[in-house]
Each structure stands twice: as C-alpha cells, then as structure tokens.
Amino acid sequence: MEAATATVGAAAGRPARAWRWLRRNALRIYAGLAMTYMLIPIVVIAVFSFGETPRDKLDFALHSFTLEYWQHAFAIEELNDALITSVKLAGLATLGSTVIGTLMALALVRHRFVGRRAANLLIILPMASPEIVIGAALLSMFVYYQVGLGFTTLLIAHIMFSISFVVVVVRSRLIGFDRSLEEAAQDLGATPLETFRYVTLPLLAPAIVAAALLAFALSIDDFVISNFNSGTTVTFPLYVFGVALRGIPVQVNAIATMLFIITTLAILLVIWQQRRAERMSAVQPDPEPAAS
C-alpha cells in the first residue's frame, strides 16, 4: 500500500519536486550567480591579458592567444616606475600608519582619559568622509602653503587615511584580549615594557599584520586622494588612469592579474595562519586526572 502511494506520488510530483528543489536551493543558486557576476571583470582582465593586439594596446575584441605581454610584463618603463613608486609609497605608508595606529588603539582600549570620545570621533571621521573631500581639503592646504606636491605629500596623505583603518582592526582584537597572560607575566616580575614586548605584542601580532596588510592594500589602490595630491609623481593607479584615456598597454592587464594573484595568495596565507593558530591554541594538556 505504501509502495503504491509512493509510486503515484512520484509520477504526479516530478515537476513539483523540481520546483521544490529550486525553491530550496534558490538561495544557493542566487549566491552562485552573484559571485559569478562579481568575478566577471577579473576574468575579463585576465583573459584580455593574453590577447594579441596590433598596437600593443588594449583592444575591445578578442584576438589570438599570446604570452607576449606576460613575458614582457615589465617592458614599459613608465609602468615600472609607477609600480615602484606605488610599492615604495605603500611600504612607507604602511609602516607609518601601522605604528601610529597600533599605539592609538592601545590608548583607546586600555586607558580612560579626557578626550577619549573626541579621539574616537577623530578616527571615525576620515573613514566616513568621501575620498574626494579628504583629497580636496589636503590639496587646499598644500595650495595655501604653496607646498610642492609630490612623493612627500602623497606619503602624508596615505598615512593619514590608513591610520583609522589600522586602529579599527587592532582595536577589535584588543577588546577581546585576555589580560590574564599579561598579569601572569607581571606577577613573575616583568616590567610593563617587557610585558608589552614579550607577551602583548606577540599575541597582538596577527591583528597588527592584518592591519598592515589592509593599510598596504589601501595605499596601493588609492586613486582619488593621490590624484589630488601627487603633482607629477605617478603611482600605479594614476598611471592606469592616464593611459586609460589613450590606450591601455596590455601589460597593465597582466600586471593587474599578477597583483590579484599575489594578494589572494597573501590573504589565503593569513587565513590559513589564523586557522593554525586557533588549532594550536586549542591544544591543551589534559587536566591532571583526579587521584583515584
């Protein structure tokens, strides 16, 4: 009897079942579609880095496959100079903003003092302001003082806008920080400075590294603020904008794909490290068995 019902149900319900399957997996299907949509430009960039074009500039049609532009990825002097400038700038800016930002985060989380709320506001404001306003205001100041625009002004700007992000990242880690380890160190006779160096800092390291990576990425990618404050110095995004109007050399696509792969690997590495750290910290010696 059950078998009969089952068969009848099955015969009548195949379209209905398909519909139900669709409904249940709708969200997943949608997520897949959405992620595809987000990946389209990346695929396009990668694909178009392998296309042979007559003028060595980006063409809007697909041509024959060639590795030429990958082999000669660094053939364009201007592009290389821009890349080097960007990396130098990002490196220095990351250094500056990570140090400054970590110190600020420590102050904000671990101490109570007058002006704490003002400092919090000061940190949030740059993150919430549109880049164009930040860039334009800085330019206004530089114009006013007739300061020469160039690498230095860029560095100043980049450090400035990265600080807030560093503070937020480090602060979130500090808030959940287990202070018992620090207290233990102090009980064992370590000075505050030693405690900081040997206990706090290593435990804080993952957050600091994450913040530094974020600052680096923000700096390398920055266009608007750099556009306003660079004078004639050319960073990678500024170079791309310049050639975007006149014809992008295909090498740019190759380099962009390279950057993408490097960044992806770097972050995957960080995530993997996180996982390892979590797993290792989860390993604890078994508690002493009660004396039987």
Give the footprint of other proteins on residues 228-257 (CB under 8 A): 228, 231-232, 236-237, 240-242, 244-248, 252-253, 256-257
Annotate 159-175 with b (16+ C-beta within 10 A) or e (fewer): bbbbbbbbbbbbbebbe
Q: Binders of other proteins among 262-291, rule CB under 8 A?
A: 263-264, 267-268, 271
Of 121, 181, 184, 201, the one binding other proteins (CB under 8 A) is: 121
Q: Does 134 bind other proteins (CB under 8 A)?
A: yes
**Using rule CB under 8 A, residue 193 touches other proteins:** no
How many Cβ atoms are within 10 Å of 241's Cβ, its own excluded?
Answer: 14
Cβ closest to other proteins, residue 11 vs residue 38: 38
Q: List, as one string, the DSSP characters of 80-127.
A: HHHHHHHHHHHHHHHHHHHHHHHHHHHHHHH---TTHHHHHHHHHHHH
Question: Is 117 a residue that touches other proteins (CB under 8 A)?
Answer: yes
- The token pair at 20 is 């139900």
Q: CA torsion angle for 249, 252, 253, 259 (degrees, to 10)?
A: 170
For residue 9, what is the DSSP state? H
Q: Distance between CA atoms of 82 and 175, rounded to whole angstroms? A: 39
Two tokens, residue 102:
């970590």
Query: How is residue 65 annotated by DSSP?
Result: B
Compute the least distance from the CB of residue 9 to other proteins, in Å: 24
List 148, 152, 191, 198, residue binding other proteins (CB under 8 A): 148
Contact between 207 and other proteins by CB under 8 A: the answer reads: no
CA 142 to CA 139: how far, in whole Å? 5
Q: Which is nearer to other proteins, 131 or 203 (CB)?
A: 131
Which residues, numbered 92-111, are part of the site for other proteins (CB under 8 A)?
99-101, 103-104, 106-108, 110-111
Judged by CB under 8 A, the residue of 19, 21, 198, 260 near other proteins is 260
Which of 87, 95, 119, 209 touches other proteins (CB under 8 A)? 119
Compute CA distances 41 → 172, 243, 252, 285, whole Å: 33, 19, 14, 49
Residues 32-61 that bind other proteins (CB under 8 A): 34-35, 37-42, 44-45, 48, 53-55, 57-61
Nearer of residues 93 and 185 to other proteins, judged by Cβ: 93
Task: Note whether 187 binds other proteins by CB under 8 A.
Answer: no
